[in-house]
Amino acid sequence: MIGNLLIGLREGLEAALVVSILVAYLVKTDRRHRLPLIWLGVAAAVLVSLAFGAVLTFGPKGLTFEAQEVIGGTLSIVAVGLVTWMIFWMAGASRTLASTLRHQVDVADERPWTLPLIAALAVGREGLETALFVWAATKTAVRDGGSATEPLVGALIGLGIAILLGYLLYAGAVRINLGRFFGITGAFLILVAAGVLAYGVHDLQEAGVLPGLHNLAFDVSAQVPPGSLPGILLKGIFNFSPAATVLEVVVWIAYVAVVGTLFVRRVLRPHPAPAVAPAPTEPADGSCVAA
């Protein structure tokens, strides 16, 4: 549940941050009449995300076991790719997000239809990524005899916290160092995504697309039973499997090594000093107040 809560929190905060900046800027520049366009875009994105989640949940039913495993494994890998892109994108964009959005609002003032488009794209991208990742986690939980609702509940809690933080950012009640926040959550999500990637590979092995299904790298089911507290925690947070194939382990290690190294370099890379002094709402230390 914790891994999915983190997905909901991070994805939801990205969307909430964009919306709060858009709303705050429109209010401050006395363009409140444009606010319904923002909420129109948000509503459209939420509906599309829900529809996508429904298709993922009910679409594969009735297919053969092999076909379901191919679809599940492929979409799990796609979800990992999207989350990986999101991790790197937000690590670099958090410092300039507010100024970029304010510029887009000013440019769009003569074309009102672009405002709901900006909001819809921001919220819709996060919504689709969340739906895909949570669906992959739910499929894994069900296959391992767990609860189908636990990943969804975790994601909803994370989204609820993100919405609250978005409102507090808009109200100016909190300051969040976005660079630090997305750095910490990004590092944790790399481990979560590695577990989902390994399970996607396992699905493809069960479908016969990839070899080595019965070539186990380890089996610690006796030492870490799936129903035990350690097993539940490791499974819920990192998608840890007590019996993993060699290919799953190789993929997990390779992903963490490559993506983790690139992420650390990205986070630690010095940022060039801005040509002009940053706006009061976008401090140079990476913190942000959406106002």
What one-character-per-residue DSSP string does the chain give? -HHHHHHHHHHHHHHHHHHHHHHHHHHHTT-GGGHHHHHHHHHHHHHHHHHHHHHHHHTTTTS-HHHHHHHHHHHHHHHHHHHHHHHHHHHHHTTTHHHHHHHHHHHHTT-TTHHHHHHHHHHHHHHHHHHHHHHHHHHHHHHTT--SSHHHHHHHHHHHHHHHHHHHHHHT---EEHHHHHHHHHHHHHHHHHHHHHHHHHHHHHTTSSS-TT-EEEE-TTTS-TTSHHHHHHHHHH---SEEEHHHHHHHHHHHHHHHHHHHHHHHSPPPPPSSPPPTTS-TTSEE---
Residue 187 confidence (pLDDT): 85
Residues (pLDDT < 70) of the chain are 1-3, 61-62, 92-95, 97, 108-110, 112, 141-148, 173-176, 178, 232, 236-237, 268, 270-291
Residue 211 confidence (pLDDT): 93
Residue 136 confidence (pLDDT): 77
Please, which residues have CB within 8 angstroms of residue 213's CB and are 6 or more apart in sequence? 202, 205, 206, 245
Residue 236 confidence (pLDDT): 66
Beta bridge partners of 216: 245
Residue 158 confidence (pLDDT): 86
Residue 284 confidence (pLDDT): 43
Residue 262 confidence (pLDDT): 92
Residue 20 confidence (pLDDT): 84
Residue 108 confidence (pLDDT): 66
Using CA atoms of 81, 87, 91, 95 in order, give the dihedral in degrees to the nearest 10.
100
Residue 221 confidence (pLDDT): 87
Residue 290 confidence (pLDDT): 44
- pTM higher than the cut 0.95: no
